[in-house]
């Protein structure tokens, strides 16, 4: 059975989080900044799972690698500043970048990007 989440469910959801997930991530506010969230219950109407679907921001950057290091550095700084402003104005607190180039991975790490907790996975719909 799938049913909507209400604030009345939060005590039980926090208990599940505390028991099983407190060391992995902070308890999410499923009623804020989620596209949708719902409970899945068993035949006794006991909560088995809660599912939250949220937007994440992904930064896609195409850089002309033939340009000077000075130009690439300057545009990276300017781009990151703009990303931070736009992201916070939209109510988000994270931006993801999926990087295959080891050099750019090191560069982005120096500018505050960190590895995600867990393994990043994608489901194509």
Residue spans per domain, the chain: 2-53, 56-125
pLDDT at 91: 84
Rounded CA gap, 18 and 45, in Å? 21
Adjacent-strand bridge partners of 36 = 53
Helix (H) or strand (E) holding 110: helix 102-110
Q: How high is the mean pLDDT of the chain?
A: 92
54 alpha-carbon distance from chain centroid: 8
Quote the percentage of the chain above a pLDDT of 90.
63
Contact (Cβ atoms closer than 8 angstroms) between residue 60 and residue 79: no
- Do 13 and 37 touch, CB atoms closer than 8 A? no
Q: What is the pTM of this model?
A: 0.73
């Amino acid at each position: 059975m799938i049913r909507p989440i209400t604030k009345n469910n939060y005590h039980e959801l926090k208990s599940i989080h505390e028991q099983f997930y407190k060391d992995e991530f902070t308890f999410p506010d499923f009623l804020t900044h989620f596209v949708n969230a719902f409970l899945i219950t068993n035949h006794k109407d006991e909560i088995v799972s809660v599912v939250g679907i949220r937007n994440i921001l992904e930064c896609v950057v195409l850089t002309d690698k033939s340009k000077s290091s000075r130009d690439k550095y300057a545009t990276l700084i300017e781009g990151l500043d703009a990303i931070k402003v736009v992201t916070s104005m939209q109510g988000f607190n994270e931006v993801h970048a999926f990087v295959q180039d080891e050099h750019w991975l090191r560069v982005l790490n120096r500018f505050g990007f960190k590895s995600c907790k867990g393994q990043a996975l994608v489901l194509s719909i």
